[in-house]
Structure 1
Amino acid sequence: MERRSFVKLGAVGLAASIVKPSFASEEPISEPSFSHYTGEAKMISTWSHGQDANRAGWLKLEAGGSSLDAVEAGARHTESDVTNRSVGIGGMPDREGHVTLDACIMDWESNCGSVGCLEGIAHPISVAKHIMQNTPHVMLVGAGAKKYALKNKFETIKTPLPEVKKEWEKWKKEQAEIAKKPAINHENHDTIGLLAIDSQGRISGACTTSGWAYKLPGRLGDSPIIGSGLFVDQEVGGAVATGLGESIIRISGSHAVVELMRQGKSPEQACKEIVERLIRKHKDMSGLQCAFIAINTKGEVGGFSVYNGFNYALKTANKDEMIDTPFDRKW
């Protein structure tokens, strides 16, 4: 899924030179208050491997960590899974045999970071977090992202794995010049998305992926795009997307879900309406699976998918379960 670019303006000097105008009618802006939250800490993650990701993130929450710590830890767990073919070290390559990784992360203060087309780095989610916390930028891509990761001593990996390379070599022999459109299903779903709310009511989210198997080199989907693959607004809640990124980008899917929750819709209702909007934007929905999950500031969760077969993992102090989402249509 995709990434972006900045003009260097001398961030420190520029920030110091900006004077905010004063208006008599302007209300003072207060920091978000979390004292009202009386619910329990909670994590939700897309697909069945989200269950293990939740467990890894839950260790952070149990130790007093924040929702940001939790979603990063959960994403890192999946990135390290050599059996997963859509995320991290076990991910499928592009048409030329390169495994390029995308990730983004966002916290309750609307801080966010992202990487795209990052090759040879074990944990793109942590690089995204480092960008968020240590630079004036949101997104770094390609060679620049890798240079940044190496400079900051992030762990490297060699990809594709031997067994993945064999699959790619077989595919290459079988395919014509124009790659066939792969089915988007539980084996090729482009991402893991995670959302967490901690005991203080703070919401964070993360996405990480190796993207569409055998994609054109340089392709980005929705996963690294703030507003498409992930969006968090502490006034409302957060949402993440999974499925065919090109379709999710068209409607700024995760941001749209959050805005519907702002209007008073429940997480499930908001996800359902955005799935229906996505369907209306496409003349042909053959094999086009997309889904959203969301959490609001009350700790309510929900999801919805285009087709049946999508589920998400839920973790609380007393629950560790998979939930099948409602859907618009059957395969």
Structure 2
Amino acid sequence: MHPLPVLVPLLPTALALPSPGLPFVINTWGGPFTVATDAAYASLLLPDASALDAVEVGCSACERDRCDGTVGYGGSPDEACETTLDAMIMDGASMKVGAVAGMRRVKNAIGVARRVLEYTRHTMLAGDLATRFAVENGFEEVDLATEESIRACEEWKKSGCPGNFRVHVKPDPSTSCGPYEPIPLAWGSLETTGFLAASRASKTSHDTISMIAIDARGALAAGTSTNGAAHKVPGRVGDGPIAGSGSYVDAEVGGCGATGDGDVMMRFLPCYQALENLRNGMSPTEAAENAVSRMLRRHPDLQSGIVVVDNQGRHGAAASGWTFTYAFRGGEMNATQVVTVQPVKAALVKQF
């Protein structure tokens, strides 16, 4: 039995929660995602434990248990009712990254991402060729769909494919499942497109576990895993496997994890920005709020959540568009704690 997580409020703006000591693990979301927090923390207590191991173990736990259904197999099917997976893992000392994007038919996406990091000179592999690499490295090829995901996708199609990601096409994507034909665009028309529609979707339509770990020696690693946005255009890849967006870590300063509307967030590299904010002297909470505010200034309806930790384990977060939670455990804590973060007010965002 895992101890029940303890709910704690976030400290006021510009402050950060103190470090509970090392080893330390922190990840986006509470609730079912605390399974990943506990698994990663337990791995850090083993002899010769490493931060990379903890990130892989924690994200794998969410892939295996599916957490809230937005990580791992059987969730967020695309227009064709197929689930594909994105993941990345990053080492804070070497700055090496391993990632897979749009990977098909392999459950353990974070495990394959680590193989990319450790056994290639590349950063990212994608699609069917990422699957081939996974099989070459001993991973099993299986169907990622479940009866539940297929049934949900078929019901979505019967209802006219609401909330899909098509724009500037005919027939009308708000009432039709296609096939679609592009409508010629006038110069400048991209400025008025409805690109924020996805930001108004529910949390369960786009989500990620993003995790940062610090081992007993002070080494840092970060990683993400997700099955992406529900009803996405087949082939879509969001921010999850993108270094600097879904997560980022630099042993000199700390780490960051993000979740939300990845199609918007990846344009701003919020985790890279947050760590540069740390480097320039901001607290973890200030660093997160600054990164979120930069996105909100251009996209006031954006749903986002960013958690930031410095290399000593002090941590904070910021969010927009929803109430965000994150989970952490470290030092001699006997239970995971979950922190609730209220959204930044778009009206209070300053120009940078």
TM-score normalised over the length of structure 2: 0.79
Match of 2:169 in 1: none
Match of 1:50 in 2: 33
**C-alpha distance in 2, partners of 1:179/1:219?**
19
Contact 1:308/1:328 (8 A) holds in 2: no
User: Structure 1 194/39 Cα, relative in aligned 2: closer, same or farther at 3 Å?
Assistant: same
**C-alpha distance in 2, partners of 1:169/1:47?**
29
**C-alpha distance in 2, partners of 1:179/1:301?**
41
Q: Deviations over 1:160-189 (max 9, x none)?
A: 110111000000111256268554444233
- Answering whether residue 85 of structure 2 is matched by residue 101 of structure 1, we say yes
**C-alpha distance in 2, partners of 1:277/1:50?**
27
**C-alpha distance in 1, partners of 2:174/2:239?**
20
**C-alpha distance in 1, partners of 2:20/2:213?**
15
Equivalent residues in 2 for 1:287-326, closer than 5 Å: 288-316=302-330, 317-318=332-333, 319-326=335-342
Q: Offset of 1:242 from its aligned partner? A: 0.3
User: Structure 1 313/228 Cα, relative in aligned 2: closer, same or farther at 3 Å?
Assistant: same
Unaligned segments of structure 2, at least 5 residues: 1-18, 162-171, 176-196, 347-352
Q: Decide which of 153, 162, 174 is 1:168's aligned counterpart.
A: 153
What amino acid does structure 1 have at the position aligned with 2:317?
A: G
**C-alpha distance in 2, partners of 1:272/1:233?**
19
Contact 1:60/1:73 (8 A) holds in 2: yes
Q: Decide which of 222, 226, 237 is 1:220's aligned counterpart.
A: 237
User: Structure 1 74/179 Cα, relative in aligned 2: closer, same or farther at 3 Å?
Assistant: farther
What amino acid does structure 2 have at the position aligned with 1:310?
A: F
What amino acid does structure 1 have at the position aligned with 2:115?
A: H
**C-alpha distance in 2, partners of 1:313/1:306?**
18
Match of 2:10 in 1: none
Q: Secondary structure at the match of 2:316?
A: strand
Q: Offset of 1:210 from its aligned partner? A: 0.4
Equivalent residues in 2 for 1:232-271, closer than 5 Å: 232-271=249-288
Q: Secondary structure at the match of 2:317?
A: strand
Residue range with higher mean Cα deviation, 270-279 or 152-161 = 152-161
Match of 1:32 in 2: none
Q: Secondary structure at the match of 1:90?
A: coil
Q: Offset of 1:85 from its aligned partner? A: 2.1
Q: Deviations over 1:16-35 (max 9, x none)?
A: xxxxxxxxxxxxxxxxxxxx
Unaligned segments of structure 1, at least 5 residues: 1-36
Q: Secondary structure at the match of 1:121?
A: coil
Q: Secondary structure at the match of 1:216?
A: coil
Residue range with higher mean Cα deviation, 148-157 or 173-182 = 173-182
What amino acid does structure 2 have at the position aligned with 1:291?
A: G
Q: Offset of 1:152 from its aligned partner? A: 1.1
Q: Offset of 1:202 from its aligned partner? A: 1.1
**C-alpha distance in 2, partners of 1:39/1:123?**
30
**C-alpha distance in 2, partners of 1:310/1:293?**
10
Q: Offset of 1:68 from its aligned partner? A: 0.8
User: Structure 1 74/67 Cα, relative in aligned 2: closer, same or farther at 3 Å?
Assistant: same
Equivalent residues in 2 for 1:157-236, closer than 5 Å: 157-176=142-161, 178=173, 181-182=197-198, 183-236=200-253
Contact 1:92/1:160 (8 A) holds in 2: no
Q: Secondary structure at the match of 1:295?
A: strand
Contact 1:195/1:204 (8 A) holds in 2: yes
Contact 1:83/1:90 (8 A) holds in 2: no
Contact 1:80/1:88 (8 A) holds in 2: yes
Q: Decide which of 50, 57, 72 is 2:56's aligned counterpart.
A: 72
What amino acid does structure 1 have at the position aligned with 2:220?
A: I
Contact 1:47/1:186 (8 A) holds in 2: no
Q: Decide which of 114, 129, 149 is 2:99's aligned counterpart.
A: 114
What amino acid does structure 2 have at the position aligned with 1:153?
A: G
Percent identity for Structure 1 against Structure 2: 34
Q: Secondary structure at the match of 2:154?
A: helix
What amino acid does structure 2 have at the position aligned with 1:60?
A: S
Q: Secondary structure at the match of 1:204?
A: strand
Q: Offset of 1:138 from its aligned partner? A: 0.6
